Every structure is written in structure tokens, then in C-alpha cells.
Structure 1
Amino acid sequence: MHALIAIASFRRPDDLRVLLDSLLVSAAESQHTMDILVVDNDPSGSAEPTVRAFGDDVRYVLEPQPGIAEARNRSLDDFAGDAGYDAIVFVDDDEYVSASWWDVLATAAVNTTAGVVTGPVTSIFPDATPDWIRRGEFMQRAGHRDRERLTAAATNNTLLKRSDWERAGSPRFDRSFSSTGGSDARLFADLLAAGVTIEFCLAAEVFEPVPRDRMTQRWVARRAFRNGVVLARIGVTKRSALLTFAHGGFLAVTGFALALVDLVRVRGLHAQSFNRTLHGLGVMSSFFGARVHEYKRG
């Protein structure tokens, strides 16, 4: 398999350097081949010196139009323009991969009929991480069985086959989600609706160091609320606006009830009940036009 590794980047030169180093190691360990593309979404071109240091091993393009969807679509432009790529793989610029990652992910893609293959993202905690973050599992993502079929995916460790993308009509990332986030969730929801299947590959692991500024109740609450708004906007519930609002109310009430159970059990704050409550409030608020502009630039 020959794939395009697509990285949308915005002002993370140190993280980007670590990721690129790890990708080149992983490429050297694999029977499959890759080209690496960095799409710099900073109009000042701040990622260029980092990328140029890798010479011909990494390609650099500038996408000056602000927005995460714009940067992701620029990588799809490159993918669409080169028929030699069997797949495009999305990874985030604040992650790094294992030495076996590319061989495992590509081999899994070759051996499955699924059009999308996604792997786990493991959080790496810094020293002095608050106990409530670890105990409440706020930064750990939900686990899945190997080869489990999923109903969602993100662009943090995901391979999309060209044949399935083209068969689904070559969908793009929705620019209306550029400042709020969620354009990846929307794209994969569209692919699912078109009959493309998503499969989990347990061994294709990437790692994400958790920034200290994310380990606050304010940050996790804002992210959970935003995810609820996005959930309503992408139409995952497949309901009318009123039923979507009612579904949000159900999530909020049951989440709050679970939170009370956690307190009674002296479990403390836990992501499952906390996120469910905030997701519900986000879904309900979306009914009134609420948006969380997580990626808005001043």
C-alpha cells in the first residue's frame, strides 16, 4: 500500500518535529510506503523551517485560509490529484507514532473490506497530573475490540481508502465547522451514510502528550459541551429538531443522575457521567443556535 500521510498544523513546531521523526522511523520499518504532507495553516508559514529541516522526506504546503477544515481539504486536494495513492491517513500534529504503526495500520487496511481503518490514541500524562483527571478517565478515549466496526471516527489516527472515498462521492470537510471543530466527525458520518464501513485496529497505536492547560474542569466541560453541539449539528441522531432537543434532555438528565450515583459511591467526578450531562446540554443548546468556536482566531 502507498498512502499520503496528511498533517494539518498550526503553530506547534516542537510537537510537529517529534511527529515527523516518529513517522520516518515507522516508514523505515514497513513494507508499505508513504509520502508525508504537512499543511501549514498559519499564514505566516511558521511550520516551514521545521518541515524544511527534513529535506525531501516531507513535503510542505501553505494553506493561508484560516480553519481546520480548510487545512484538511488542502490535503484532500493533494490526495485527489495523485492517483498513485491507495489511501490517505490523517494524524494530528501533537501526536507521535510507534515504530510498527505504519506497517500495522497499512496491513490491516489491505486485509479488510472496510473503507476506513482507525486506531487508538493513547494519552501521555505529564508529571503532577491532577488525580481527578486520571481517576475520572477524562483524557482516556473509549476502548474498542480489534476489528470492531465503529459508528464514528476522527482525523487523529485514521486511514481512508481512495476507492471507498471516491465511491462515496469524494466528500470534503465541511467548512462551516472550521472554527467550532467537528468537520472530521461530519465527514465520517457522511461516509457511513454512503455505505463506507469503519474498522478499529487495536495495534495501530499513536500517542498524544496531554498539555497541562487542558487539565482543568473548565477545559473538559467546554470540550464536552462542544461535542454535544457538534453531535446535534452533524445529525447523528437522525431525528427532527424537536426530537434532537428531547434526546439532549434525556442525555442531560440521565448523565446528572449517574453523576449523583458516582458521588454516593464516593467515586468523585467521572468522565462518563460528566460528559453525558454536558453532551446533553450541548445538544439542547444547539437547538437555539449555540456554537463553541474552539478554533476561532482573533
Structure 2
Amino acid sequence: MTVVDQVGHVVIAVLTYKRPADLAELLPLLIKQMDGVDEQVSVMVIDNDPAASARETVAGFAAVLDDASLVTYVHEPTPGIAYARNRALDEAADAHLLIFLDDDERPTETWLQSMIETYRRTGCAGAAGPVLPDYETEPDPWIVAGGFFVRKQFPDGAERPAAGSGNLLLDVRQLNELGPLRFDPEFGLTGGSDTVFTYHITRSGRKIIWSEGAAVVDKVPSKRSTRAWVLQRAFRNGNGQSRIELTWQTNPVRKMVTRLKLTAGGLARIAFGGLRAASGLLSRSKVHHARGSRTMIKGFGMLCGAWGVVYTEYGRGKKS
């Protein structure tokens, strides 16, 4: 990795689906971020609602700016977050850097500056930063005990094998060198397309670097602060893990071996998680009950994914 002296156009892509209030709150914060950097920066809103519900919000905000070109609107009506991400790649094809941000995330004060500085310092193909929870309502003590919304942190500058797209910088030029790299629509309504995408980057020998100062705050609505939602997400994660690992296997024999390994891993999690959850229930330990329950449900998800069951978390009618 080498130091980058000059950074061209930076595009911040905000993916949205039927969240006008979140969008209206986020856009002014992104414009404010531009004051702390020297680079040319613009915001692009990718609306994945077939009804184009975000168009009016974006147009109204852009109309009051001194430079309306700082915020643009793009409508991607095909359902699925992978299609929205791919549309962002297409629209930002001539940019230098593309930064993905979700509409329910809020940048901290040094977010954009830290992202760009990490890229300048390392010349990485991608950079990812912390996502910190902000609860709309006080969560269930069971959730707090499990630490389910507290995401793992890493040392600044650490290399990551993959990353989620909800706070991700990409060097468009390096992506172009890797060929037609796309988010897989097979994961568009299930989640996981960002993990597969970023694994492709690192498996090609390019680097994804952790940017400790580039933190965003994730607004956790009350409907997610429930045991049911946490366990649903655990099942999705296990299901997606199996499907992702099987994606890499093209040889039928290796695919079957991987399938059997995932089956064993899923069964082990079901057994261990079930025992831990039961012991937590008997000992009245919320930590053991919560974490054991999540491990067990993730195991069921892995088991199902290993044998072709696909869990569609983002079926329309739900917000992606």
C-alpha cells in the first residue's frame, strides 16, 4: 500500500427505502461534513422504493442549497439492496472514491475526514469504520446483557477480510482494475451481498483497512430492540454464512465437504447454545441465556443454509 497524494471526486452514496424522515435528518449532516475536507464531495441518494418516495425529500433539500449539484437523486426501482448498491457503482463509475452509508446512520464529527485520511495514508481498496448503536427506546435488559448491538472494534489500521456496506469506502479505480465486480443479486433480499463483495476484494490481494475515527451512529428503532428481532437476525446471519461459504465452492466434491462441515458447525452451535441458554435460565444469568439463545438460533440458520434453505429477511413490505 502506498500514500495517495491526490484524491479526486468523492461520492457519498446513501441507500434509502421508505425512510423520508431519516433522509431529511441525514442530508444536512453530510453537507456539514464537507466543510472539514478539501476534496470535491457530493451526495447521491439511491432510492430503492419502486414508488420513488424519496424524490420529493431530496429535491426539496437540494433546492435550498447554494449548490444544488451537491446532492443528486437516483431511482433504482428493482427490489433488493444489491441492485441499489450496484446502481451506486454504476453512477459513481467516474468518481475516485465511493462511500456507502445507510439512511438510518449518522456520521460523527470526524467521520468523512477520517475515512479519506485512512485512504490517503494506506492507498487501500476499501476502508470501514465503527458503527455505534443509538437506541430509540431503552432496550430489553436481555439485549443489553447479550451486547447484541455492540459491534466488535479493531485497532486503527487493521486489515479486515470483509466488511458491511453501512460505512464503507471503496476506491473505484481499484474496483475497475479487478474487473466487473458486482454485488450479487442472489443475496439482494436476504442480506450478505456486501460480505461476498468485500471478500472478493480481499481475496484478490487488495486491502480493506479499519478507520477507527470514521465512526457512524446507527439509530436502533424500538422494533429492533426486541428478542424476536435479535433471534431473527441471528438466524439470518447463520443462514447467510452457510450460503456465502458455499458460493466459493464450484467443485461438487468440495461443495459437499463444505456442506457437511457447515452442518456439523450448525449442529454444534445448536447443542452448545441450547445448553448455555438452559444454564442461563436455571442460574438466572441473562448473559448466558441471551448469548446461548443467539448461538443456538444461528446454528439453526447455518444448518438450513447448508442444505439450500434461503431466508429472505428483506422481503418487500419490510424496510431494507
Q: TM-score by structure 1 length?
A: 0.92
CA distance in 2, matches of 1:275, 1:30: 41
* Secondary structure, aligned partner of 1:36: strand
2:129 aligned to which of 110, 119, 131: 119
Distance 1:231 1:183 in 2: 11
CA distance 1:114–1:249, shift in 2 (3 Å): farther
1:110 aligns with 2:120: yes
Displacement of 1:264 after TM fit? 6.5
| Equivalent position of 2:3 in the other structure | none
Q: 1:229 offset after TM fit, Å?
A: 0.7
Pair 1:63-2:76 in alignment? yes
| Contact 1:29 1:99 (C-alpha < 8 Å) held by counterparts | no
1:293 counterpart residue number: 312
- For the 8 Å contact 2:127–2:210, the answer to whether it is kept is yes
Q: 1:30 to 1:274 in 2, by over 3 A?
A: farther
2: CA distance between counterparts of 1:256 and 1:19?
41
1:42 to 20, 30, 49: 49
How far has the Cα of 1:44 moved from its partner?
Answer: 1.3
The more displaced of 231-240 and 52-61 is: 231-240
Matches within 5 A, 1:15-54: 15-54=22-61
Whole-Å Cα distance in 2 between the matches of residues 273 and 192 of structure 1? 32
Give 5+ residue unaligned stretches, structure 2: 1-6, 63-67, 250-256
Amino acid at match of 1:101: W
Is 2:238 the counterpart of 1:219?
no
User: Are positions 1:79 and 2:54 aligned together?
Assistant: no
- Per mean C-alpha deviation after superposition, the further-off stretch among 143-152 and 3-12 is 143-152
State the distance in 2 between where 1:272 and 1:86 align.
Answer: 42
1:249 equivalent to 2:267? Answer yes
Distance 1:145 1:260, change over 3 A: farther
CA shift for structure 1 position 105: 0.8
Letter matched to residue 281 of structure 1: F
Q: Deviations over 1:39-73 (max 9, x none)?
A: 11111111011111222121001111111111111
Structure 2 residue matching 1:207: 3-state secondary structure: strand
Counterparts of residues 151-166 of structure 1 (less than 5 Å)? 151-166=161-176
Q: Is the 8 A contact 1:8 1:38 kept in 2?
A: yes
Query: 2:208 matched to which residue of 1?
Result: 198
Post-superposition Cα deviations, 1:232-261, rounded to whole Å, max 9, x if no partner, equal 111189762112222222333333344456
Query: Hey, which of these two has a bigger chunk of helix by percent?
Result: 2
1:89 aligns with 2:99: yes
Out of 14, 22, 25, which is 1:7 matched to? 14
- 8 Å Cα contact 1:121-1:208 kept in structure 2: yes
Aligned-pair identity in percent equals 34
Whose radius of gyration is greater, 1 or 2?
2
What's the CA shift string for 1:199-219, capped at 9, x where partnerless?
111110101111001111111
Work out the CA distance in 1 between the residues paired with 2:292 and 2:200.
28
Picking from 291, 295, 304, the partner of 1:276 is: 295
Residue 98 of structure 1 is matched in structure 2 by: 108
Contact 1:30 1:100 in 2 (8 A): no
Report SS of the residue matched to 2:41: strand
Question: AA paired with 2:258?
Answer: S
C-alpha change, 1:133 and 1:193, in structure 2 (3 Å) is: same
Summarize deviations over 1:89-118 as a string: whole Å, max 9, x none: 111011111232111110111101431110
1:294 deviates by: 1.3
TM-score if structure 2 supplies the norm length? 0.86
Given that 1:231 and 1:283 are in contact with CA atoms closer than 8 Å, whether structure 2 keeps it comes out as: yes
- Structure 2 distance, partners of 1:200, 1:255, is 30
- Name the SS of the counterpart of 2:303 in structure 1: helix
